[in-house]
Copies of this chain bind each other. A is one copy, B any other.
């Protein structure tokens, strides 16, 4: 799958001391750093359950939520995480702003950096945009990729790992299946890199031929086109969101047809291990990629993912700010 973003600039995620300088992708991230993030997140889960949910780690720091592509849900989780760390948060929907005045991406960044930003959380429709920003900013400024094109969504990947670790304790004996539109999914890419890094012995992807990229086998990932086969004996199912534009295009016959073959039902889930957990990055298309009985059922940990997502984003921001 690396060929998908072979043109990506080399990622300067780590500083010279090997510490996290930016979070751009999980690909190539040392296992020790992934584990550091998960461990730090664990300490913040406690904070979220306290009556006063704030810690002063980023007090006086300025976090810019730079969303070139609209995503209220992801922006909100970063906003909450930053506020719990006592940062000042500036939300910028850049599509409606300077971009309309013809200012270039890097001019926008230069200007915001000159306002003494400490951190940029960047969502962009183009793969690689957060890399360009990370390569451009001064050393004391940190960049978090909040989703770039089809490329990566590392905090989603990390919160998925946190969720799996929370429920399964150990990665070393798991079978994990990722089901759906793997081809267009930055979540799938980040999850595959994270699972591999953490030593999960068996990672599967399940989906129709039109939605599975080539070359996955070379990464040690097993490809299934039959969902029942793909779910047999797995401990974790990660469902992917089916973008509605796929259904309008030539890649898929219809939502009904998709649900029949790749929608997660109780009946198909019966192929998995009895204590299998079900995950989804949200927002769900009920009746398309997942039926409500499963989404709201006892094996669903979909809302736990959201809760853990706050703690994981707090962890990433606090680790970055400490360097």
Contact = CB atoms under 8 A, between A and B. Distances in A.
Nearest to A52: B60
B96 A70 contact: yes
Contact of A76 (B61, B92, B102): B92
Nearest to A49: B116
A307 B59 CA distance: 20
Interface in A46-81: 48, 50-54, 59-62, 70, 72-73, 76-77, 79-80
A94 B76 CA distance: 12
Contacts of A101: 283
Contact of A53 (B53, B60, B84): B60
Interface stretch (A9-17, A25-33, A107-115): A107-115
A307 B113 CA distance: 9
A279 to B, nearest CB: 13
A60 B286 CA distance: 34
A139 interface: no
- Copies of this chain assembled into the complex: 3
B102 A283 contact: yes
Given A76-B115, A107-B282, A113-B303, 16 more contacts: A48-B116, A52-B60, A54-B59, A54-B88, A62-B80, A70-B97, A72-B96, A76-B92, A80-B116, A84-B88, A98-B283, A102-B285, A107-B283, A114-B307, A115-B307, A115-B309
Interface in A266-323: 282-286, 303-304, 306-307, 309-310
Contacts of A125: none
A173 interface: no
Interface in A99-131: 101-104, 107-108, 110-116
A101 B62 CA distance: 30
Nearest to A97: B72
Contacts of A282: 103, 107, 111
A88 B89 CA distance: 11
B50 A60 contact: yes
B72 A103 contact: no
Interface in A34-51: 48, 50-51
A60 B53 CA distance: 5
10 contacts: A53-B62, A76-B115, A84-B88, A101-B283, A102-B283, A103-B283, A107-B282, A107-B286, A115-B309, A116-B310
